[in-house]
Structure 1
Amino acid sequence: MPEPSSSASSDPARAPLDAPALAAALTSGSGLWRSLEVVAEIGSTNAALLDAAAGDAPEGTVLVAEHQVTGRGRLDRTWTSPPGAGLTVSVLLRPDVPAARRGWLPLLTGVALAEAVGEVPGVRASLKWPNDLLAADGAKLAGILAEVGGGAVVVGVGLNVSTRADELPDTATSLALAAGHPVDRAAVLLGFLRGLERRYLPWTAALGDPVLTGLARDYLAWSSTVGSPVAATLPDGSVLEGIAESVDWDGRLVVRTAAGTVALASGDVRHVR
């Protein structure tokens, strides 16, 4: 992995994260987190942790980048953010749950992220299945990408924090824009990772059961997809339209269409207004 940087930002809202303080605060007394590293620049935090997983890196490894230059979203889309303007973080997990239940892992991550963002005064957020965190106006705050390799699952999150409107696509926003005031990146990062641990450990102990752990209930409470008309572009390019009715035991989106009910394991979902 690249060496950590001590470079400072001229914008106080984009000051570098204090890696030693964050690592100490996160790992002290934790039942999951083993290490946290912050690097100044990297190609992809997910790719770096997938390489680390292949080298038997332990579960609970966290990698944060101030600037990611070849970040990826779902469907091979690119994801970029100005240095210090957001949170780019990946975590290495080795969930001992049935393979089908792993579909809940990005949804579990989304709930933890939504809860952390919900602590920011003035921000109202919701989750769009399967991997987006949206602001109240429907603009995208964050994306989540889960990838499998080296016997592990690496989950990456890209969250816009201090990003300005002129630095964002028309469909996106940031915490600072949504809240109307500066936001402490470190506090959001710690809140997210601690929340992820609180949900992940009981979920794995219950072999990925989303009902017994309350995950399914809490996901539905944050979801702006379930109950909405949706149009889903499927991997083969076809488009499926209907009403999103629920999320099933394996994390699939259940959509009622004119031809019947379909459970989607993947797809690019758009809310139809």
Structure 2
Amino acid sequence: MSMTGVIPILRALSACQALTTEQLALQISSCDIKKCLAVLQNIYGTVVQEDGCWRLRHRLEWLKLPALNDALGNVIVTDETSSTNDLARQHNGIYFFSEHQTQGRGRRGRTWLALPAASILMSMRLPSPPQLSGLSLAVGTALWRTLAGDERLLLKWPNDLMDSAGRKVGGVLIETAGESVIIGVGLNLFMTPHLQAHIDRPVGGLAAALGENMTRHYYATLIATTLREAVQAFEQTCMKTFLDDAVRAHCIKMNMPFSLILNDYKKNGVFAGFDNNGALMMRCGKRLQSTVSGEIAHVAGS
């Protein structure tokens, strides 16, 4: 959502705890304060007005570039960008983080909305592996393995992460740029009811899913490290390193019936795992079929 001024307002309230609209306008002159406050209150649910003063409804944790550089090296952090994948296209570096995306996107052109300063919005840019087929599933599996490795999180082919109730908590978007591959990750650390109401599918937060309260810096460095190691393993073995965990993590278990949306028609079958290229295997009657595209239906976060 494009709204210049969102992050400056949140930073000002983080520093001062309570400010009137007029006090915010004195500090931040480059935006429509009232319009931004309405977005923060009604859509994100991050601010509340009491006694004429605005306050944060939730504690926000800001990413710190020096700490990320110490942990990872070659990091760029911005307050706001169209998307971190766009940021990776425009700059040299390996890891790209942003507090807020104005045009965040997911698979199939969907919009990705996330809470500013309460999510992990990042991309990694590396030389493209010789093979890209299956990389999305490999990365999704690696994230599942690192973040939980158990039933608290589920993987939805090819690369969505969901909580045990089927609410989406994160996703991966892989794009190419010349001889580079850009791997973008969006991960909700927590989610407000306000923002949930503006998203057309069930969504949740990682902290609630895992029952943990780790810092945002912890998750940022953990996810970045996981992506790098996943790409290195994928270059060596393609999907072989990830296949067993991909099946174990998947929201639809072996031999369970499900539906797959392919363009304008629906195919029914039972889940039969994945092949060595990360394609989804589906048994339809006596036939075993594989597909590299499509949308799994009848899952809460679909």
Same fold, TM exceeding 0.5? yes
CA distance in structure 2 between the aligned counterparts of 1:239 and 1:66, rounded to whole angstroms:
38
- Distance apart, 1:123 and its partner CA: 8.2
Residue among 115, 121, 125 paired with 2:145 = 115
SS of residue paired to 2:59: helix
When structure 1 is superposed on structure 2, of 75-84 and 110-119 the one drifting more is 110-119
Of structures 1 and 2, the larger Rg is shown by: 2
Structure 2 residue 102 is the aligned partner of structure 1 residue 69: yes
SS of residue paired to 1:40: strand
- Distance apart, 1:180 and its partner CA: 5.1
Residue among 107, 113, 119 paired with 1:80 = 113
Misfit runs of 4+, over 3 Å = 5-9, 179-183
Residue among 111, 116, 140 paired with 2:168 = 140
TM-score by length of structure 1 reads: 0.81
Structure 2 residue 198 is the aligned partner of structure 1 residue 159: no
1:129-154 C-alpha deviation (Å, 9 max, x unpaired): 01210101111110111112222221
1:229-272 C-alpha deviation (Å, 9 max, x unpaired): 222211x3221121121111111101112372221111111246
> How do 1:177-192 residues align onto structure 2 when only pairs under 5 Å count?
177-179=208-210, 182-192=213-223
Instruction: Please give the root-mean-square deviation of Cα atoms over the aligned residues, in Å.
Output: 2.5
Q: Where does structure 1 lack aligned partners over 5 or more consecutive residues? A: 28-34
> Residue type matched to 2:173 in 1?
L
Q: Where does structure 2 lack aligned partners over 5 or more consecutive residues? A: 1-6, 15-55
CA distance in structure 1 between the aligned counterparts of 2:279 and 2:79, rounded to whole angstroms:
36
Query: How has the CA–CA distance of structure 1 residues 252 and 226 changed in structure 2, closer, same or farther, with 3 Å as cutoff?
Result: farther
Q: How many residues align?
A: 246
- Distance apart, 1:16 and its partner CA: 0.9
Residue among 70, 75, 82 paired with 1:43 = 82
> Residue type matched to 2:195 in 1?
E
Relative to its length, the structure with more helix (as a share) is 2
Contact 1:163 1:176 in 2 (8 A): no
Query: How has the CA–CA distance of structure 1 residues 20 and 181 changed in structure 2, closer, same or farther, with 3 Å as cutoff?
Result: same
> Residue type matched to 2:83 in 1?
S
Task: Give the match for residue 16 of structure 1.
Answer: 62
CA distance in structure 2 between the aligned counterparts of 1:259 and 1:71, rounded to whole angstroms:
42
TM-score by length of structure 2 reads: 0.73
Task: Give the match for residue 155 of structure 2.
Answer: 127
SS of residue paired to 1:210: helix
1:174-220 C-alpha deviation (Å, 9 max, x unpaired): 1233345644211112112222223322321x2x4322xx2222222
Query: How has the CA–CA distance of structure 1 residues 166 and 177 changed in structure 2, closer, same or farther, with 3 Å as cutoff?
Result: farther
CA distance in structure 1 between the aligned counterparts of 2:295 and 2:244, rounded to whole angstroms:
23
CA distance in structure 2 between the aligned counterparts of 1:219 and 1:9, rounded to whole angstroms:
42
CA distance in structure 2 between the aligned counterparts of 1:83 and 1:233, rounded to whole angstroms:
32
1:39-74 C-alpha deviation (Å, 9 max, x unpaired): 10111111222344xxxx46xx11111000101111
SS of residue paired to 2:98: strand
Task: Give the match for residue 125 of structure 2.
Answer: 92
